[in-house]
Structures are given as structure tokens and as C-alpha cells.
Structure 1
Amino acid sequence: MPLFLTDIIIANDSLNDQLTFSITTKIYDKPLVLKTQQTNVRTLWVKAINNAVEDCQVAEKSVLADKAIFTTTENKRDSKIAVARLLLVVQEAYDLMPSQTTLERHRSVDPYCEITVGSLTLKTPFIKRTIKPKWNAPMQFLLYDLVQDTIHINIFDNEYFSPNENLGYTTIHLADI
């Protein structure tokens, strides 16, 4: 089971042994004890892990602050009266083309679809290993301005240990429908 930076509380040098260090986490009751071959390697690992955890916490706080601003903006928009409701069903995609790097790694595509209307973004679940996903996922959006609002459709390849790869996108103006 992978250990994510968000699960780590702190990494500590061991007092008993110069080659071991421990990682205290939110998900395990006991700390994880790891052993290195040299003391300076242990020190570098502890510093690197703690710096990465700190950077992750700063990034999380930044995202939460952005969400707070976004929520405030969203609440102001919600005070306006919706003029319509859009019911949308994301049915399927076909002939998805993975990128060259995906093909070079001999990987398949795990696609999902992300729809944004106004300030609301909804996602379908990802479908494993297919270039012809069938989602049949219903979505609902409130519309505030039929002339200005657009539907943004993005299809991504779900990645576990790297950023999700954008396979394609399009934008539809509501006025064109």
C-alpha cells in the first residue's frame, strides 16, 4: 500500500541506532521504521521527507484558500436566480487516442470525463483500460446566463502517480444549442 505525503505526520531520527529513522503517519498505529546504510543518508532522507510534507501542507492550505475564495464567488453567484436547469447525460466516447508517452510505456487508457458549466465541475468515474468508455452518467447544472455560459468537456486519462493526462476537450456555448 503506497504512503502519501498527506498521510505523513513527521519523520524522526532514531535515538537508539544511527542508521534507522521512523515515519509517524495518520494511517498506521505504530511508526514505520526504516534503515539506511549510512548516517548521512538517514539525515538526508529525514530532511527530504519533512520538507516534502511541509511543502504538501503549504500547497493544501493554498488550495483550501483558493476554494474559500471560489466558494465566496460561488455564493454570490448563487444569490442570482437560475434561469434554467441543464440535465446532461455523459454517455460514451470512442476511438480515444493515448499520447505517445502512454503508448511508449505500453499502458492502456483509464478515461474519465469532466464537465464544467459555470463554476460547477462534475466528473464521471474512470473506466479501466479502454479506448471506448461507456459512462451513462447523469449530471445536472443550474444555468444563470444562457448567452454567456458554456459547457466545457474534458476527457482525461486517470493516473495514480502523475498528473492526469488530457486526452481531449471541447467547449460548447449554450447560445449555440
Structure 2
Amino acid sequence: MTLNRLQRGLAAASLMLAALTLGACGSDITGRAVPEAGGVVADTLLPDVPEADAGGTVEIDVEVGECVELTGTVADANVAKAPCGSAPANYKVIGKAPTNAQCVSDADSYYYETLMGDEQGALCLDIDWVVGGCMDLADDQPVHIDCATPTREGVRVAEIITDVTDVEKCSTPSGFVYDERRFAVCTDDL
């Protein structure tokens, strides 16, 4: 009988400690979101990334495989969910991680949020490439464009090939290679 009372007492103490711990963690994430500058390339046909959702927390509710519009500056980035292949979508979420350093090394970019200087979570991003679609890569952020509109750094995606580590396997004159994930996005200049 004493053991049951002791067990109930320990259980009650554990519940009280859990309630106090949860109550102390009720902070909103407000902080700085920063994309990586100078990234490039992706599409729904891309190879799977092992352990694509490794955790971390960001305010935007987006899953691996969905797309976002990343805008702003390196010091003041904004991210919003956008349909893949649509004009506003410029990146596809290829992974989630506790910190941006944990994103796959050949990701085109990342977005992360901090709270009091500590990183809370990151989205690992590739450009939202669509086979047959066109992108302008001239500015800080890629943009879906009409393929009939030639631009200085506009490209059309001809194909995405897997199990390669160079663009020599592309049937087009140029492309973008992802060494770690072993695929290439083959492109034609506009």
C-alpha cells in the first residue's frame, strides 16, 4: 500500500514538473530569417533526400515536397507557401533541419529562423525547376518566366537525369549538377 502511494506521489510530481516545463516554453518565435545567397536548381522528379525531415521549427507550415516563395534580403527574408510551378514559387522544400548547417550540402538555398540568436529550424531549398518550364536566374532569387521571353540569364529545363555527377550526360549544352544527390538539371539558354 505504501508503494502505491509513493508511485502516485511520483506520478503527480512528474505531471506537475511537466506542466511547469511546458508553461516555461510558451515563447513565440520572432527573429531573423536568412536565405543563402547565390544558390541555384529542382523539380518534382528529383531524387528523394534521405531523412528529409530531420526536425526543427519554423513558423511557416510547409512540408517537404511543397514549394515556397522566398523574397527579401539576406538579413530580412520572407517566406510564403506557393503552388509548385506557379509564378510566385521559386523554391521547393527538399528538407527540414534543426539548423541550416544540417541541410544537404548541394541544396540551392535555405531559410532559417532564430529566437534570441539560436537557430530554431531551417528549410532546405532547391530551385522549383519544372521540366519544360523556364526560370530567370539573373537576380538574387530565381523567377518562373514565360519561355517566349528571352532574358539575360533565362533557361528552359529540358530534362532531369539521375545517377550522374556531371552535365556531360545531358543532351543539352548546359545544366546544373547536384553531386551529393547525384542528379543533373539539363537546361537550354533562352
Larger RCO: Structure 1 or Structure 2 (Cα < 8 Å, ≥ 6 residues apart)?
2
* Fold shared per TM-score above 0.5: no
Q: TM-score range by the shorter chain?
A: under 0.3
User: TM (normalized to structure 1)?
Assistant: 0.22
Higher Rg of the two aligned structures: 1
- Going by fraction, where is helix more abundant, 1 or 2? 1
